[in-house]
Amino acid sequence: MNWLFQLYSARKFQPWPEVLHLLAEAGYRGVEGFPGIYDDPAAFRKELDGAGLSMPSGHFDLKMLEGDFPAALDIAETLGMEMLVCSFLPPETRPTDVAGWRDFGARLAKIGEAARNADLRFAWHNHDYELRPLPDGPVPLQLLLDAAPEIGWEIDVAWIVRGGGDPIEWIMDHDSRITAVHLKDIAREGENIDEDGWADLGSGTIDWPKIMKLLREKTSTEYFIVEHDNPRDLERCARRSLEAAEKY
């Protein structure tokens, strides 16, 4: 199984060389990148190689993907990526109606075409805001996926739950689109307040054994990516989450 670790989870635990060696020692063989580590891709690649880690996937800002795609390609090539992921829309730029979300999906479709032309895959990564129905009814995530049928989906199960969605239904409805999954958990009510209510994989409230079984059976997911948006202890999170993941 291709277990990765999303480096955004380690942004508060520097320096990066120590982080990478910690992850390698914990048992990971790869990581997923994010914009905070792209300032010097060649130098970061050396650190990855030194730790024995790969980076097959990376998150990118929409601004770079639309405004300077060659720069994104250069980063991807330098770091050895196979898949680009657009991961977030700032609140002030989010569409507010059906037409806006369809238009945004069309923009993602264009990025996906550019990625395919460069022999790379492209996917959208969800948060919770795409699960909140618009005033006139539709759910933005569905509009987005329908408008960009050729792109993949990196499903963040915990954000679906926080957005009020049923991850089982979303997986069943879009199994062929799912190329990667983020693995994190939601703490029980009142717990882990200083970690924004998140929990290490397997220690929270999400039925991960059931979800992982479904993902294995129904999707062609290649990357299973451990994440925690705000861990107190990076080593605890990394080790505990991987131990849980390997049992599913």
Q: Which residues of 134-171 are buried (b: 16+ CB within 10 A; e: fewer)?
A: eeeeebbbbbbbebbeebbbbbbbbbbbbbebebeebb
Query: Is residue 155 within 8 Å of residue 178, measured between CB atoms?
Result: yes
Q: Which residues pair with 125 in a beta bridge?
A: 154
What average pLDDT does the chain have? 97
In this prediction, residue 1 has a pLDDT band, given cuts at 50, 70 and 90, of confident
Give the integer Cα–Cα distance in Å for 152 and 234. Answer: 29
Give the integer Cα–Cα distance in Å for 134 and 101. Answer: 10
Q: Which residues contact 194 (CB under 8 A, 6 or more apart)?
A: 232
Query: Residues 205-219: what's their mean pLDDT?
Result: 97
In this prediction, residue 2 has a pLDDT band, given cuts at 50, 70 and 90, of confident
Instruction: Tell which residue, 167, 154, 143, has the closest CA to residue 94.
Output: 143
Query: Residues 139-166: what's their mean pLDDT?
Result: 98
Residue 97 confidence (pLDDT)? 95
Q: What is the pLDDT of residues 94-149, one digit of tens each?
A: 999 999 999 999 999 999 999 999 999 999 999 999 999 999 889 999 999 999 99
What residue type is assigned to position 46 of the chain? K
**Domain 3-245 belongs to what topology?**
TIM Barrel (3.20.20)
Instruction: Tell which residue, 63, 146, 64, has the closest CA to residue 99.
Output: 146
Domain definitions of the chain by residue range? 3-245
Residue 136 confidence (pLDDT)? 84
Give the integer Cα–Cα distance in Å for 223 and 1. Answer: 8
DSSP class per residue in 28-53:
--EEEE-GGG-SSHHHHHHHHHHHT-
Query: Residues 218-242: what's their mean pLDDT?
Result: 97
Query: Residues 172-185: what's their mean pLDDT?
Result: 97
In this prediction, residue 243 has a pLDDT band, given cuts at 50, 70 and 90, of very high
